[in-house]
Amino acid sequence: MKPLRGGLRLEEKKEASLLPWSITRPSLPRRVRIPFQGQSLVQTGQRVRVGEKIAETSHASLSGTVSRIGRFPHPVLVDSEAIEILSDGKDERLPGIGIERNAWKNLSREEIRKILLESGIDIVGADLVSARDPQVDTLIINACESEPYLTSDHSLLMSHPVEILKGGEILKQALGARDLIVALEDNKEEVAELLKSKTFFHSWSGAKIEVLPARYPLGDERILVRELLGRNISGVFVSTVAEVFAAYEAVVFRKPFYERVVTIGGECVVQPHNFWIRVGTLAEEAVKYAKGFLRDPEKVVLGGPMTGTALESLDVPILKNVPGILGLPRELAKPESVEPCIRCGECVESCPVFLSPALITLAAEKDEFELARGYGASLCIECGNCSYVCPAKRPMLELIQYAQSA
Amino acid sequence: MVGALVPALLVFFFLFGLQALRVTGLSLASVLLGEWSGAKLLGNKLRLYDGSAVITAFLFALMLPVSLSSGAVALGGFFGIFFGKEIFGGLGQNPFNPALVGRAFVELSFPVAAQGVSLGSASGMSSHLFALALFMGGAILIGRRVIRWEQPVIYGFSVLIFSWILTRGAKTPLLNAGILLTAFFIITDPVTSPLTRWGQRGFALGAGILAVSFQLFTPGLWGGVGSGILLMNALVPRLDEWFRPQQVRL
């Protein structure tokens, strides 16, 4: 398959956290803070068990006492309403979680959707409803993981290949889709081989394993669908590996989404690795699982280095959609002085959606929003390629977002 | 990259001696003064350290006959950078190549003196030596990935083929030092050339055709080469428009 247009070959930096590729289950955090929307279903002082529903789409990830419900720092928003639970150290689960129910093939689409929603897999569950129009014919499991440092999907696939394939089958059934594709980048050959051998030995005809040349931002779902299927994303459902695994655990074991695999990495961390993290674990506690920082990071990023959020403080919880926490060193993350645009055209060459970022940002700098939109500001997929390649270190992504905001 | 011009400058000093040093020194001084004036008088940000002014100064010097009076050199250097770059807002904003603007000023204001032997009109051993130095500079730029190889190659070939066609094989001025200087250092200036890859290719092609046409049919700036470039500079917004990539809605 041809490499992606404008795709960047980024330094992967994935080896450190994959030595070994197993996922470590660390000791329990002392407390968790789980942001929620709507009404809280518990009160201060109440005792909760793991998996207990505490809000509309949130479940307790520790057993213990609800110590406080109020506004707490949030990684992306300034702060948000959250429920804080102090661990009692017992890790007691709700009864019923963990009993295997293998008759999921007999479940109807509605029933699967209900289980997913009840389990806090709101991303998949809510989308499944709207995915009815238009009819979804293809489900893609996005195992590309294009961003550097992140290896949580890689390690999860190596540890639980069959579960993820089954999770794909479950989602495919729920969507009424015809095809199931697992998409991987070519830096994950061992994963592809493992999946292929599993589909072979289980005589699985349903799943296709596709390996694509590793280029950023292949992991962006719209780009992935274009490269894999040559079409628009309409009618295609793209799911992350974490969501698929959570869907499997929800339907087969009735286990709500209260923990996920997170890569704690970056050059500043003592021992980069993948860990099972309970939802709501504070970033500062999670970093300790990797034995802390061996030197002061310039930036701590939640997510990947290209699209993640730089944290102001480590006193924020890790949420369901966070694949990594990275401590980036000064030489990679230091703020650089900005030069004017010299019209070199590197940004145009690197744009996967064929925009002219130079023209958009030059217009944005002069507040010419009509012009910026004319150059395609609203079509930007916010991959950050232009920012990465700009020799003048202009804040390309921020300028395009500024143009979009007006 | 200033370093890539060093071989050519060394040949310049070697062949023309103290006169060459004089011209280069004056060019440097007047260009830096022009850039400084741009900051003081027009409010542009002072960025003397970024080397772009220095490159302009060296290119300008290399385009001049060493017999040119000091006044002419100084005025030309100042004019080129001030009216060719600073009044447009400084780095990244100028449509025309400032070295060529300076050369244009010299040719218009001192027409007789400008006819002297310069890089563009050097012949024989001198021109071969310059050619070697310029190829070295070009190799450095391409090797360091500062410029794309297609532009000098397309420009060189378009000059070669077009002059061969028009003179029916009589003249093939490829090793003309002026053409080589243009191919590696003028065509490739990102500020005054198109944004897109295809635009840059069109630019190089057009500049080559124009250089030959001016040389053969009508008198032109700096042996015709300069006019070709300045015309293409003016066409850059059009080229950007024509060759803009098709936006994709996902």
Q: Quickly state the pLDDT bin for A201 (edges 50, 70, 90).
A: confident
Q: How many whole angstroms separate alpha carbon A117 and alpha carbon A137?
A: 22
Supply the DSSP symbol for B119: G
pLDDT digits (tens, 9 = 90+) for A79-121: 899 999 999 999 999 998 888 888 888 888 888 888 988 898 8
Closest CA to B53 of B77, B71, B70: B77
Chain A touched by B197 (CB under 8 Å): yes
Chain A touched by B250 (CB under 8 Å): yes
Supply the DSSP symbol for B97: -
Q: How many whole angstroms separate alpha carbon B205 and alpha carbon B192?
A: 15
Task: Choose the mutation target among B56, B151, B187, B248 for the interface with A, i.e. most A CBs under 10 Å.
Answer: B248
Which residue in the set B91, B194, B249 is minimally distant from A379, CB to CB?
B249
Distance from CA of B248 to the nearest CA of A (A): 5
In this structure, how many other beta carbons lie within 10 angstroms of the beta carbon of residue A62? Answer: 28
pLDDT digits (tens, 9 = 90+) for A267-292: 999 999 999 999 999 999 999 999 99
Q: Which position has the token pair 């002026």?
A: B178
Chain B touched by A354 (CB under 8 Å): yes
Closest CA to B153 of B207, B80, B78, B225: B207
Q: Which position has the token pair 């550097």?
A: A148
* Residues of chain B above pLDDT 90, percent: 50
Query: Quick one: pLDDT at residue A240?
Result: 93
pTM of the complete model: 0.86
Out of A312-321, A334-343, A382-391, B212-221, least confident range: B212-221
CB contact set of A92 (below 8 Å; sequence gap of 6+): A49, A50, A63
The three-point CA angle A234-A131-A146 to 5° equals 60
**C-beta of residue B150 within 8 angstroms of C-beta of residue B201:** yes
Pairwise CB contact (< 8 Å): A223 & B250: yes
Average pLDDT over residues A228-242: 88
pLDDT digits (tens, 9 = 90+) for A148-195: 999 999 999 999 999 999 999 998 888 888 899 999 999 999 999 999
Pairwise CB contact (< 8 Å): A354 & B190: no
Strands A53-55 and A58-59: antiparallel
The three-point CA angle A41-A43-A49 to 5° equals 75
Chain A touched by B49 (CB under 8 Å): no
Average pLDDT over residues A317-339: 91
Distance from CA of A202 to the nearest CA of B (A): 36
pLDDT digits (tens, 9 = 90+) for B92-146: 889 999 999 999 999 899 888 877 777 766 677 788 888 899 999 999 999 988 8
User: How many contacts, defined by CB atoms under 8 Å, are there between A and B?
Assistant: 60
Chain B touched by A348 (CB under 8 Å): yes
The string over A227-264, giving b where at least 16 C-beta atoms fall within 10 Å of a residue's C-beta and e elsewhere, is: bbbeeebebbbbbbbbbbbbbbbbbbbbbbbbbbbbbb
Pairwise CB contact (< 8 Å): A354 & B92: no
Q: Which residues in chain B have their CB less than 8 angstroms from residue A344's CB?
A: 190
pLDDT digits (tens, 9 = 90+) for A16-74: 999 899 999 999 999 999 999 889 999 999 999 999 999 988 999 999 999 999 999 99
Q: Which residue of B has its CA nearest to A374?
A: B247
Q: How many whole angstroms separate alpha carbon A279 and alpha carbon A259?
A: 5
If DSSP codes are grouped into helix, strand and coil, which group holds residue B234?
helix
Phi, psi (degrees; rounded to nearest 5) at B12: -55, -50
**C-beta of residue A295 within 8 angstroms of C-beta of residue A278:** no
Average pLDDT over residues B163-167: 82
Interfacial B residues in 131-150 facing A (CB < 8 Å): none
User: Within its chain, how far is the Cα of B20 from the centroid?
Assistant: 18
Task: Name residue A73's beta-bridge partners.
Answer: A79
Interfacial B residues in 198-217 facing A (CB < 8 Å): 200
Pairwise CB contact (< 8 Å): A351 & B245: yes
- Listed in sequence order, the DSSP H helices in chain B are 6-42, 52-62, 70-84, 98-109, 124-143, 150-166, 177-181, 197-216, 225-242
Average pLDDT over residues A319-331: 93
C-alpha pair distances (Å), A144 with each of A237, A256, B225:
15, 25, 51
Pairwise CB contact (< 8 Å): B247 & A376: yes
pLDDT digits (tens, 9 = 90+) for A341-352: 999 999 999 999
C-alpha pair distances (Å), A133 with each of A107, A115, A175, A177, A236:
21, 21, 11, 12, 11
Q: Which residue of A has its CA nearest to B249?
A: A379
Distance from CA of B45 to the nearest CA of A (A): 10
* Residues of chain A above pLDDT 90, percent: 69
A333 has pLDDT over 80: yes
Q: Quickly state the pLDDT bin for A127 (edges 50, 70, 90).
A: low
Distance from CA of A22 to the nearest CA of B (A): 36
Chain B touched by A229 (CB under 8 Å): no
pLDDT digits (tens, 9 = 90+) for B35-44: 988 888 888 8
Phi, psi (degrees; rounded to nearest 5) at A258: -120, 0
Closest CA to A354 of A177, A204, A223, A214: A223
Q: Which residue of B has its CA nearest to A358?
A: B195
Q: Which residue of A has its CA nearest to B50?
A: A339
Q: Which two tokens stand for residue A277?
A: 């993290």
Distance from CA of B226 to the nearest CA of A (A): 21
Q: Which residues in chain A have their CB less than 8 angstroms from residue B193's CB?
A: 343
Which residue in the set A226, A349, A379 is minimally distant from B247, CB to CB?
A379
Long-range contacts made by residues B42-50, C-beta under 8 angstroms, separation at least 24? B42/B86, B42/B87, B44/B86, B44/B89, B44/B90, B45/B90, B47/A339, B47/B90, B47/B91, B50/A339, B50/B91
Distance from CA of A36 to the nearest CA of B (A): 32
Chain B touched by A341 (CB under 8 Å): yes
Chain A touched by B241 (CB under 8 Å): no
Q: Which residues in chain B have their CB less than 8 angstroms from residue A232's CB?
A: 250
